[in-house]
Structure 1
Amino acid sequence: MPQVPAARNALRILTLLSLSDAPLSAARIQRELDLPRSSTYHLLRELEASGFVVHLSNPGTYGLGLAAYRMSAAYTTQQPLVRLAAKDLKAIAVFVGGSTHLSRMAGSEVVYLHEARAPKAVSLVTEVGVRLPALSTASGRIMVAHLPEAEVKAVFSASGEQRAYREGKDRLIAARQRGWDEEREEVSRGQETVAVAVLDHLGRPAAALAATFPAGSRDDDQRAEVVGRLSAAARRVAGKFFGGAGTPVRTHLS
């Protein structure tokens, strides 16, 4: 028996709608799932309010909403990216004697979707599922650097960093031009990170690949080697998933 019947039934409704080639009436949903009439309408209203279901007034049926589409689109994008990058990230983690990550933008934050760690590497805060402000991480900044200016401003606004926009803009332009960004002890004490963006066919940031290792443990040439390996991995992922990185959109920061 499900421990949370309401949650279970909400998922059953979404599953039923996803398997139907046309919107369904509340009566049919109730009948198909053998649910009480009142519970069916309560669940549909809640799903509609959260955007997972849309109510079509004519002919009074329900279909999947935009939130359900976004979730399915996120899965379609995220999981293949992780699979394509995992081998390279593991090899780079061993090379640097630290950790590597794949992350994506989630509003004004980055969410970490994959971590590879070398033997005896320290545990970091950037574990899978963790969200951090994009502007506070190398991964987040290199992705923001490839966004159109209007979206960059939105990230600063949502992060409460409007006053830092001018200074931050210059840093983002520099990061985009050289193709990578870095941070030292901004996220984890005693650690530094370099990150590159994976660009989709439109030149937008689909993800970021990053390597984290003890601060000061590598000289400029060695750090350049790490960046080179990350960049090569990003190009391979983009080539396999998007057919090659696209041309960045013309509305970037300048």
Structure 2
Amino acid sequence: MSQVPAASRALRVLRFLAEQPGPVPLDRIQQALGLPRSTAYHLINTMIDEGFVTHLVDEKRYGLGVAAFEVGSGYTRQAPLQRISRRPLAELVDRTGQSAHLAVLHGRDVLYVIEERAPGRPPLVTDVGVRLPAHLTASGRAILAALPAAQVRATYPDKSAFVDRHGKGPSGPRELATLLQETRQRGHATEDGEVTPGFASVAAAVLDHNGYPAAGVAITHASETPDPSHAEAVRRTAAELTRRLGGRPR
């Protein structure tokens, strides 16, 4: 439990807004974060005064402000997640003989920030800077499974939120909820042919100090050569990165 509830709520609002594809109404923020309407209203107005949130009056929606951009730019310059993660990912490649990557959630996509390619393995679409639909990737599913259910529902409210890549994967909120429940029960996420035909991935979430998913770490292998030890190796790497981030395992 946070010792400073107001600060915790403000940070949750920032995180929620950062994950949306565009500005959202106040009631969307309130419902997704479980805040009383009066609390959400006063909190948002304070964040507007500080420049972290902007109010689009004509649209009656709220989005990130310039101050949030400045914080994000500082993070990009410092790249702490990439610095912390590179060696454990290289060790994961050595243990499994498969290419590994790290991705972060951005709206309904995952953004790949590190790729460590195994020697002799073919290039993959998960190169640094590439975005892919989160609900189709193992990394994205690992992250989504660690999010509060209300936040997942707000991000994927109906079938229009789901894009198709190769005719596989969840196409609606109910299918996604079932898949994420299975992911939580296993302790890791999988996908097979939903990103690239002939290739499968296994992933686990990296958690921050609030138990919130900061990233997803994954390896990708040929579909015809699964190895049960890969899942354990990925979970161990995710646990190590969680520890390095000062994270709180679930």
Counterpart of 2:82, as a letter, is V
Q: Does the Cα contact within 8 Å between 2:96 and 2:233 map onto a contact in 1?
A: no
Query: Structure 1 residue 194: deviation in Å?
Result: 0.2
Q: What root-mean-square deviation, in Å, do the aligned CA atoms of Structure 1 and Structure 2 show? A: 2.6
Residue 202 of structure 2 is matched in structure 1 by 194
Aligned to 2:182: 174
| Secondary structure of 1:157 counterpart | coil
- Displacement of 1:94 after TM fit? 3.6
Q: How does 1:58-69 map to 2 (within 5 A)?
A: 65-69=67-71
- CA shift in 2, pair 1:53/1:195, >3 Å: closer
Structure 1: 4+ residue segments shifted above 3 A: 51-54, 73-76, 94-97
1:235 to 234, 239, 246: 239
Structure index of larger Rg: 1
Residue identity opposite 2:108 in structure 1 = S
Distance 1:95 1:122 in 2: 18
Give the drift of 1:163: 6.6
Name the counterpart of 1:117.
Answer: 117
Give the TM-score taking structure 1 as reference length: 0.65
Deviations, residues 12-44 of structure 1 (Å, cap 9, x unaligned): xxxxxxxxxxxxxxxxxxxxxxxxxxxxxxxxx
Gaps of 5+ in 1: 1-50, 55-62, 248-254
Q: CA deviation at 1:246?
A: 4.3
1:213-242 deviations in whole A, cap 9, x for unaligned?
A: 111213xxx32x111111111111111211
1:147 is matched by which residue type in structure 2?
L
Quick one: structure 1 residues 226 and 53, their matched pair in 2 at CA, closer, same or farther if it must change by over 3 Å? closer
Shift of 1:199: 1.0
Distance 1:64 1:135, change over 3 A: closer
Distance 1:109 1:246, change over 3 A: same
Residue by residue over 1:100-123, the C-alpha shift from the partner in whole angstroms, topping out at 9 and shown as x without a partner, is 000000111100000001111101
5+ residue gaps, structure 2: 1-50, 55-64, 163-169
Aligned length: 182
The aligned residue for residue 104 of structure 2 is 104
When structure 1 is superposed on structure 2, of 108-117 and 145-154 the one drifting more is: 145-154
* Identity across matched positions, percent: 37
1:84 to partner: Cα distance: 2.1
CA distance in 2, matches of 1:53, 1:167: 33
